[in-house]
Structure 1
Amino acid sequence: MAYFKYKGIPFSPEFSSEETLSYVENDFQLLDDDIVNITYPKSGTHWMAEVLSLIQSQGDPSWVQNVPLEERAPWIELDEDLKIALKNPPPRLLTTHLPFQLFPKSFLHSKAKVVYTLRNPRDAMVSRYHFIKGFKALKDPGTVEEFMERFLRGEIDYGSWFDHVKGWVEMKERANIFFITYEELRQDLRGSVQKICHFLGKELNSQQIDSVVENASFHKMKDNKMSNRSTMPENVFDHTKATLMRKGISGDWKNLLTVAQSERFDRVYWENMCGVNMTFPWE
């Protein structure tokens, strides 16, 4: 299936339309108490949505156990999810993979809080490579080599990882944006949850934080039908070919990329990221 481009960024017509993207960019009104979970695809999106859902419910897991993730934290750029987002009562939890330049313009005049999660792009690419295989409407990713080249050129939905990260990092001086990495979440989930609570102005006691950490663990999410996307219909997703919750680890790219591919990736990475004023755990 071919992508369509909106302002130069590729999108999948199966899930988004030009009309929805234009509405979100120009007319969608962010509210001051909105919390927006932002990632480049396969960078910990569902994990962070779960953490934020549990913080929102003060550690009580009943919301995450009974309401599907896409209803709790809908993706604003997806045609169907946008309808849910517009109906959900405040305070809303929203999710998006949009690059900064396509994000709702209303953000610049709102107090809405953004949590932006980054992940080693090699891992994001490998995770995406495996995940795409499940979507019936998306074309087969081809060989690792072919997919890696498309990834490095930004010729996949949502465009370039490098542009996405650079666009958001430029906003890092804003008080209502918080940056965290997938690797930090893996290394110290409890400490990360405490930092996120502090950023959101949410006071959770020690037991509530314990509950957030426990219920946002990989194993709990993998077993939770409301979080693992196992409810996606068979005509959309072939569950025998891929799963959302695959390994939940860092460094899996080492199992897939050859030395030559890894060196090529590094070259392109540094060409793109050499001027970025932020350091990352994978560098």
Structure 2
Amino acid sequence: MMKKFTMKSIFAFLATAMLAMMLVGCGGEKKEEAKADAGKGEKWIVAINSTFPPFESVKEGTKDYQGIDIDIAHYLAKKMNKQVEFTDMKFASLVPTLQSGRANIIISAISPTEERMKVVDFTKPYYFPMKAIICKKGAGFDTMDKLKGQKAGASMGTTFVKDLKAVPGIDVVELDTTPLVIQDIKNGRLAGGLFDSSQAAVFVKQNPELELHIVEAPVLMGDTFAIALPKGSKDTEKLNALLKEMRTNGELHKILVEHLGEDATKQYEAATEKLDIAKL
């Protein structure tokens, strides 16, 4: 039997339907608004290459990252009210990843070379590395010239490759990671390799059959370590201020001591005091 509809019931039905549509519309707007705000300013995706101790490496037996750059990233993120998420990759992939927007920042012992500065922005340097040659103990490759006629290696995409190639007569080998360079020195495929001196100290400590020799050379801007940001980033000056704060409040000193040791840190800080470039 069909139910008879009155005008009153029809108006009631239409009113109910319109109210339901309004509620659905409001709910949809709230969902869109929430989606737009989700994660805004919360997560900081930091690109690293975790094969460069003591600046960044994976803690043995865990999936956790450790090192000077890792501690700096956590300090800066806390000050910037960000949650850190590290993304690990080959060194040569760092800049392309930042350019593509798959990372917000690079804190990974990266140098502000002229070529890189064309495509990304950098903070002022926070570390002024010295260079060192690693070779087998007793080999005595204590200068770059002594590597002439020999095979020497460095990690692909680093400034150390460029330094080796600048010396005529060195047969330069580029490898994917620094541990592979160390392995080839140990097994005799390479006579030596060029590294950051603090990194070299860690490798030699871990491999007593190796020795290191500091290469006496001025530290240029393209040799320093700085933080890379997307071109035109508004955070560059904020980070410059925070890095200066870390130097003056002793936080950077504590981080260096943690990963380099007290003696090495004192030697490094004494050396950087003599560098004009460190006073920028």
Q: TM-score, normalised by structure 1?
A: 0.31
Larger radius of gyration: 2
Q: Which has the higher contact order (CA 8 A, sep 6+)?
A: 1
TM-score normalised according to structure 2 size: 0.31
